[in-house]
Every structure is written in C-alpha cells, then in structure tokens.
Amino acid sequence: MWYVSTRGMAPRVNFEGALFSGYAPDGGLFMPEELPQLDRETLRRWSTLSYPSLVQELCALFIGPELIPRDDLDDLIHRAFSRFRHREVVPLSRLRNGLNVLELWHGVTYAFKDLSLCCTAQFLQYFLEKREKHVTVVVGTSGDTGSAAIESVQGAKNVDIIVLLPKGHCTKIQELQMTTVLKENVHVFGVEGNSDELDEPIKAVFADVAFVKRHNLMSLNSINWSRVLVQTAHHFFAYFRCVPSLDTHPLPPVEVVVPTGAAGNLAAGCIAQKMGLPIRLVAAVTCNDIIHRTVQQGDFSLSETVKPTLASAMDIQVPYNMERIFWLLSDSDSQGTRDLMEEFERTRSVRLPEGLQRKCSPVLSGPRLCRQVPGSCPGCRAESRDSLGDLSAGEKEDTLYPNAEEQRLDTDSSGHN
C-alpha cells in the first residue's frame, strides 16, 4: 500500500516511509492512497476476534508482507500488548440505557495512547534493527503523549527521544512520569508556552527536509500515520462489542463519543467509517472548542487564548488531524486541503467551503457536540436522560444525550490525539 500527503505535493511512500516521517515534506500528513472496503463477511469474521487479533488483521491491510511478514507482524503486536494490566487489553463496560464505555486506560501510563504507541514503537524498532539505523524522536506533549512515547521506547539502543513539556500545562502525575525516567536515551525539556505553541517550532523543524534527514528525526505525535492506524481498531472493536448481531440489513449504527483535542482518534473514526463501519461520531471537546465551531458553523479559527481545564490533554486550539478529516471528507481533494490549511497557517482563521461543512456535520454529528467538559470530571461524560430537567435549553444543546434507541459508546478521554 502507498501513502500520499494530504497536500498532494510530496512523493508517495510505503508504510515504512510514513512511519519514519513527521509531517510530509510539503507540510501535509500521510494518508493511504486508497482505503480498503470491508464487506459484511469480513466484518463478521473480525467481530469474533480479541482486541490484539483485531489490530493484527487491521494492520495487515495497511502494512504489506514485503515490509513486515505476517508472522513477524503478529509477534510484534502480541509483544506490544504484553504489559497491559487487563487480560482483554481493552474491555467494554456496559452501563445504563445502552451506554457503554470502552476502557482504553489499562496500559502502563494509563493513557489511551499506550495502545497505539506500544505498537508503533514495535514497528519502529523492527525496521531500525533490520536497517541497522538510529533515529531521534521529537515529541511535543500536553501530558499523556510524552509519557506514553517515553514508555514505548525507553532503553532502546537505536532510539533517542526528545520530549518538549509545556511547563505548568500538564498534570503532576504526567510530569513525574516523564521527568523521573532515568534512561540514557530519554531527554525531557520544560518549555514556555502551551502545547499548541510548542507544536510550531516542531513543525518548522520537520519542514527542513535536509536537517531531518541529516539527524534522522521523526515524530511519535499523532501526525504519525501508525498512531492513527492502530487507533482505528478502537472503533471496530467497540462496534463489534456493542452490536448484538451482524445479520440485520442494513447493519445497525453505533454512536461513538470521542473526547477530542488534536483529533487523531476522531480521524481514526472517520477512516473506519470510510472503510464501511456504520458508526456515528460525536466529538466531545472542552471550552477550547475549535472543532465544535468548525463542524457547527464552518469556523476553523483560533480563539484568543487556550483556556486551562481539568482535561489538559484536550486543551488544544490547533487540532492538526482535522487536516486528515478535511481530506477524507473532500474525497481526497489535495488541492482544496492544501489551500485551506495554508490559509489557516497564515491567518489562523478560515471559513470552510460550504460543501465541506455540509459533509462534516452528518459525519461528526455536529448538533450533539459537547462543548464543555464538566468541572467535576477530567474527561467528558454522557448524562442520563433523567437529568435533562436540571439544564437550561442551551446546556441541553451542548451536552451529550444520545438517542435511547441506539447503542452508544463513550471512549476514554485520557488524551488529546
């Protein structure tokens, strides 16, 4: 399988090339040139699999056997999940009124990013050992990405990792997870500013293609395609656990609530949709609500400031994976995506074309976006319908009240991308 930039000006690469890249040379993000379309028989077969086995099947579609033979791929993924605390890796808890919670926090650092990063690190080290190479990973974090990335590569002889930690913008636990690792290949630096601000120099570094090649730099933020690929499995696994049968016509929909910052998990859900999974995505955000405004009003623009909330990893004003979503929903329109993103980078404010906004709203369930994370919980929650009477009309619009007749899923909110 080949991968192309969302901006259409970079040479296409294979999975290994996408894995070892940060941004594409033209500033875009790598995406599969074509997405596999899954028939009902494939979905039925996948529905009986464990989470690790499902990840193996999904990754095999996007990583050719000429790069990683299937037996090796299965072994890498098995090794990746070996340290998770729960025997199912990703269990599903069933609550009242059809609400289900997919527990994505059973990895070493308790962040959902452990799931994708542990696999990505295995793929990375497989190629490094095979090619006898060394890389330096550069990661910007609002908390959970940094600690999960460090955990995935600490002690590796062929990887050094540099983590930029925004001082005062992470939880104490996350900060300690990063600053107390005493491995020679781990380098953590506290920087001034928030996570959006530190993303700018990182992107500038990766724009210097010669510098990146000279120093063998790469990223493990969710600009990396491998992260998004593994996260796509969350949506398939959730769907299979929520739906009682795959024998109905058409397949029943499942509504998936995705706490969102940089929109990596949301992009993964859009990819699953495009592959044929009948899910409806609800993007849950904090008061830093650029995604809410983008879907509801077509207003893709920064607010004046990033407002701190209890969900610091979701306090994002530059959700860079929206570029992948714009590209997907515009039928791979690289020219339109490039024009849109370059204007956003210049002005920090852009109005979505009317046709693109119309496509965003039904895919991302715009009318049911949650605009504000409740102050009592460091994540987003779906209230029971009994509590409607306690809210004003405006609050009812901005809080998640999925339809009672549908199966619903609330995913873990431990991270922003």
Q: What is the DSSP letter of 341?
A: H
Tokens, residue 162: 């540099």
Element spanning 219, H or E: strand 217-219
Q: How far is CA 38 from the centre of its chain?
A: 21
Residue 50: phi, psi to the nearest 5?
-70, 165
Question: Where does residue 396 rank: exposed (0-12), middle (13-18), buried (19+ CB within 10 A)?
Answer: middle
Phi-psi region of 168 (alpha: psi -120 to 50; beta: other; left: phi over 0): left
CA torsion 177-75-270-409 (nearest 10°) is -70
Asked if 268 contacts 296 with a C-beta cutoff of 8 angstroms, the reply is no
Question: Where does residue 109 rank: exposed (0-12), middle (13-18), buried (19+ CB within 10 A)?
Answer: buried
Query: Is beta strand 135-140 parallel, antiparallel or unpaired with respect to 99-102?
Result: unpaired
- Is residue 307 annotated as part of the catalytic site, yes or no? no
Please tell me the distance from the alpha carbon of residue 120 to that of residue 129, in angstroms, as a whole number: 14
Please tell me the distance from the alpha carbon of residue 13 to that of residue 383, in angstroms, as a whole number: 45
Question: Where does residue 205 rank: exposed (0-12), middle (13-18), buried (19+ CB within 10 A)?
Answer: middle
Residue 71: phi, psi to the nearest 5?
-60, -40
113, 172, 183, 396: which one is catalytic?
113
Please tell me the distance from the alpha carbon of residue 282 to that of residue 264, in angstroms, as a whole number: 14
Residue 28: phi, psi to the nearest 5?
-85, -170
Catalytically active residues are: 113
